[in-house]
Chains A and B, each alone.
Chain A
C-alpha cells in the first residue's frame, strides 16, 4: 500500500521530495481535424515505483495519454513531465519501455524473438559492427526475466498471445527503462494466461522496482497489476468541475466490468478525483484509510447473491 499512500500524500498537498515518475498538469489534446478533444484538463501524478492502471472505454483517451507520456504526441495545453524532463528527453534516454498491442506489430516480419528483442537497444549500434556484447547480454537477461528464453529462436509471428506479450515486454526491458508502459496487455490472452501474466508483472515490478503504467479497457488487467487507477473516458473529461463526476457516471463507465469482478473478488471500492481524473481501486477490506478529500466520489460495488441474475452495483457519492 506504500505507493498508494505516497500518491495520497501528494494529493493532500504536501510537497514532493523527488520528481514524480510521470506528471501531467492540465493536459488537453485534440487530434487535428477532430471536433472533440481526446483529452481535456487531465492532471495526474505517478510516483516512482508506483503501479498505475489507466482505465476507460475504447476511445476514451487512454492510448492518447500513453502517446503523450511517450512523447509521440505533444499536448495542445498543459505539461507532461517524465522524471522532471520532457517526454522527448525521456524517450531519447530510454526511460520509458513501451509494450505495444499485438495488432500494431507486423507479424509477417521474418525475425526471431531474440532478433526483435535485440533491436530494442541494438538499433542505435553502428551498422558496420555486430550487436555489442553488452546489448546482447541485456537482451538475454530481459528474455530470461520475462520467461521468454524458451521460445527466443521462434519467429515473432508464431507466438501465442501470452508468449507475444512476454517477448514485447523483454524488448521493453532490454533498454533498462525506469517506466514500463503496457498497452492493453491482456488482449488476446486466455484467462489462465492472464493470471500467469499478472503474476509475472508483479514479479518484475518487485525485482526491478519499475514504475508501471497499464492501459486497458478491461478492469481485470488493471487489477492484476495496479495500485491505483486513473479513470479516463470522454464522458469524464467532458465535465471540467468536480460536480461532473457523479456516481452515476462512474457506475455507467465501470458497472459492467466491476460487477463481474466483484463476483470474483468481493466488494470493491472505487474512488476518483474529478479534478485530477485519477482514482483508486482497492480490494475487499482495503478501503481508504483516512476519509476522502474534497471532490471525491466513492462507488461501492458489491456482488449480489448467487442466482441474482448478474449482480448489481450501488453508488455512494460524497460531494465536496
Chain B
C-alpha cells in the first residue's frame, strides 16, 4: 500500500496533505451547488467558465512575464477569477437575446477564451525569455488537468475562504434560488428578483470553477461540478438527501482518487474524476436493480 506509506512518512505527508485537504474543500463546495447545476442544465456553462479561465491564465501569465505580478500568488488567482466571473456574466448577458441562444453565447466565450489564452501564454513565454527571466509560466498539463498534488497551505486557505463564502451565499439565498430554479417565470411573477439570483449564481459558479481548476484543471473542472449532483439525483428526489449524497460522492471521489493516484501512479485530477464517473455508473446500476426489484415485488404481490 503506497498510500499508507506516503501518509505515514512525515515528509511525504507534509507534501501531500495540503493537496488532499484543498481537494476535499473544493469538492465539497462543488457538491453543494452540483445538483442545481444538473437540474438547471448549467453543465455547459460550467464548461464555458472553466475554459474561459484559460484566457485568465494567459492574461496572468503576461502580467507575470512583464514583472507586474508574482507567479502563483493570490493576485494571479484573482486575475483568473475576475476573468472567469466576467466571462460567466458575459455568457448570461449575450445569451439573453433571441438572436444569440445561450449555448451559442457559451461556445463563443469558450473558444474565444481558449484562443486568447493560447496566444497570451505564448506571448508571455516570449516576453519572459527576451527579458532574460525564466519562463515562469505554468505547464500546459497543470493548466489543463490540474496540479493538486503540488498544493500548499496557501491553496488550502484560498480554497477554504472561497468555499466558505460560496456555501454561505448559497445557504442565505437558498429559497429564492430554489424558487427560481423550479420555475423562472413564476418566480418573477411572485416578485423574486431573478436577475439578481441568476447573476449571483453566475458569480458563484465562476468562483467554484476557478477554485476547482487547481484540483482538476481547465478541462476537468466542470466534471466536479456535474458528477456529484448527477449521481445524487439518481439516488434520491428529496432536497437534503440529494445534497447529502452529492457531498458523499464528492468526498469519496477525492479520497478514492488520491488512493488510486498513489497506488497506480496516475495524475490526481483525472483519477478523482474517473472515480466519480464510476460512482455515477454505480448509481445508475443501483437504480436499475431497484426498478427491476420493484417490478418483481409488484408482480409477486399480484400473484399473491
A interface, CB within 8 angstroms of B: 32-33, 70-72, 91-92, 94, 96, 98, 100, 104-106, 108-112, 115-116, 119-120, 122-125, 127-128, 155-158, 168, 171, 175
Contact = CB atoms under 8 A, between A and B. Distances in A.
A138 to B, nearest CB: 14
A173 to B, nearest CB: 12
A138 B304 CA distance: 44
A33 B98 contact: yes
Given A119-B175, A119-B179, A127-B173, A110 B190 contact: no
Given A105-B182, A111-B178, A124-B191, 18 more contacts: A70-B189, A72-B185, A91-B189, A92-B191, A104-B184, A106-B39, A106-B182, A106-B183, A109-B182, A110-B35, A110-B242, A120-B179, A125-B175, A127-B173, A127-B174, A127-B175, A155-B238, A157-B237
Nearest to A122: B175
Q: Which of A70, A110, A157 has the most CB of B within 10 A?
A: A110
B60 to A, nearest CB: 35
Nearest to A131: B175
A155 B237 contact: yes
Contacts of A92: 191
A240 to B, nearest CB: 27
Interface string B160-194: 00000000000111111011011111111111100
Interface in B187-227: 187-192
Q: Is the interface of B mostly helix, strand, loop or mixed?
A: helix
29 contacts: A33-B99, A70-B188, A71-B189, A91-B189, A91-B190, A98-B189, A100-B186, A104-B183, A104-B186, A105-B182, A106-B39, A106-B182, A106-B183, A108-B233, A109-B181, A110-B35, A110-B233, A110-B236, A115-B178, A116-B182, A119-B182, A122-B175, A123-B175, A123-B179, A125-B175, A127-B172, A127-B173, A158-B237, A168-B186
Nearest to B236: A110
Nearest to B192: A123
A123 B97 CA distance: 28
A110 B173 contact: no
Contacts of A108: 38-39, 233
Contact of A98 (B174, B186, B242): B186
Nearest to B187: A123
Q: Which of B172, B183, B239, B242 has the most CB of A within 10 A?
A: B183
A94 B191 contact: yes
B40 interface: yes
Q: Which of A104, A116, A123 has the most CB of B within 10 A?
A: A123
Q: Which of A98, A104, A109 has the most CB of B within 10 A?
A: A109
B39 A109 contact: yes
Nearest to B173: A127
Contact of A110 (B97, B183, B237): B237
Q: Which of B173, B182, B188, B236 has the most CB of A within 10 A?
A: B182
Nearest to A119: B179
A71 B192 CA distance: 12
A119 B174 CA distance: 10
Nearest to A96: B189
Nearest to B183: A105
A115 B40 CA distance: 18
Q: Which of B233, B237, B239 has the most CB of A within 10 A?
A: B237
Contact of B238 (A32, A105, A112, A119): A112
Interface string B75-98: 000000000000000000000011
Contacts of A168: 186
B191 A115 contact: no
Contacts of A110: 35, 39, 233, 236-239, 241-242
Contacts of A94: 190-191
A127 B173 CA distance: 7
Interface in B37-60: 38-40
Nearest to A66: B189
Given A111-B239, A115-B239, A104 B185 contact: yes
B239 A72 contact: no
Contacts of A70: 188-189
Contacts of A124: 175, 191
B191 to A, nearest CB: 5
Contacts of A171: 186
A175 B191 CA distance: 11
Contacts of B238: 110, 112, 155
A120 B182 contact: no
